[in-house]
Structure 1
Amino acid sequence: MPNKIAGDRNSDGRGAFSVRSYEPYVFHLLFGVKRMNREIQRINPVGLYDPSPNGYTHVAIAPPGATIIYIAGQGGEDEQGNLVDDFATQLKQAFANLDTALNAAGARPEHVVKLTTLVVNHDESKLQHLGAEIEARWGDRPPTQTLIPVPRLALDRMLFEVDAVAVLA
């Protein structure tokens, strides 16, 4: 009898329970946690400040068996590699480039669980631009994020860069 445990009976008394009926219990015993659902979980734990005004979530949990996608740093260059000298314009273009990379991998912004943002000469006005862009894209379910102020990036005139980790559940 495939997928059966000998000696156990179904509720009708005619055969063994299937292994599948024990799966959640076995998972709990093996891994010490209850089986997670197949969705990305975003959590802001009690005891940590509310990061939502700054455009991120403290914790993102990928479900078991998910496909992980890594997106390299995307700057504010257009398709021809041109950069403008305006931070807000580069920010929007970098996120448009991120969308292009996500689409190429079969993902969308809601699949992003981690961002790393690099900002040249970071200040509060740049943080406000970034927060507005994050809110426009993710609303009340932003990914985790690390913002790193830097003195410069790879290219002259480059003011912003974002890389991402996405999860397809």
Structure 2
Amino acid sequence: MEITLTQPAGLVVSPAFSHVAVVPAGATTIYVGGQNGVDETGAVVSDDAGEQALRAVENARTALVSQGASLDDVISWTIYIRQDADLRAAYGAVAATLARDGAPPLVSAALVAGLAVPGAVIEVSAIAAVMRA
């Protein structure tokens, strides 16, 4: 059994996201809470949306690695971008992470009025699944 990501007939086909993820029994599911573009002290790394986005994804990667997973194991991303942020810079910075050979992960994105961390313009959370031997 394996983890599958699909784009069912009747739904738009996109190289950027899949529509359905199926995680079979026996897989370990890892949930990564919202990560902002902050350093290990909690300070926002930059005013630049792209730099914050890259750091937010790196923080998610660090959380995944701590549990024996990687960005390639992510089956679903949720991305919140502050509505006054440079959308192209923020989403553009994470787009490369979302792309992968084969089926891409599920992606939900929203523009929001604000985030809990002052100065943050992006927040990402992830769900990963890993088949364990």
Task: Report the secondary structure of 1:94's partner residue.
Answer: helix
Q: CA deviation at 1:92?
A: 0.4
Task: Report the secondary structure of 1:156's partner residue.
Answer: coil
Residues 1:158 and 2:120 aligned together? yes
Compute the TM-score of the two structures, normalised by the length of structure 2.
Answer: 0.86
Task: Report the secondary structure of 1:102's partner residue.
Answer: helix
Tell me the alpha carbon deviations over residues 94-148 of structure 1, each in whole angstroms, 9 at most, x when there is no partner: 010011000011111121111111111167524444323422xx34432111101
Residues 1:112 and 2:74 aligned together? yes
Residue matched to 2:51: 89
CA contact (8 A) 2:80 2:124 kept: yes
Q: Which amino acid aligns with 2:7?
A: N
Give the distance between the partners of 2:50 and 2:106, measured in 1 at CA.
21
Identity %, equivalent residues: 34
Structure 2: stretches of 5+ with no match in the other structure:
none
Residue matched to 1:47: 10
More helix by share: 1
Q: From 122, 130, 141, give the equivalent of 2:94.
A: 130
Q: Which amino acid aligns with 1:145?
A: V
Compute the TM-score of the two structures, normalised by the length of structure 1.
Answer: 0.69
Structure 1: stretches of 5+ with no match in the other structure:
1-36
Give the distance between the partners of 1:140 and 1:92, measured in 2 at CA.
23
Q: From 2, 22, 34, give the equivalent of 1:61.
A: 22
More strand by share: 2
Give the distance between the partners of 1:139 and 1:117, measured in 2 at CA.
21
CA contact (8 A) 2:57 2:94 kept: no
How many matched pairs? Answer: 128
Q: Which amino acid aligns with 1:90?
A: Q
Higher relative contact order (CA 8 A, sep 6+): 2
**What RMSD in Å do the two structures reach over aligned CA positions?**
1.7
Q: Which amino acid aligns with 1:77?
A: V
CA contact (8 A) 1:44 1:58 kept: yes
Q: Which amino acid aligns with 2:61?
A: D
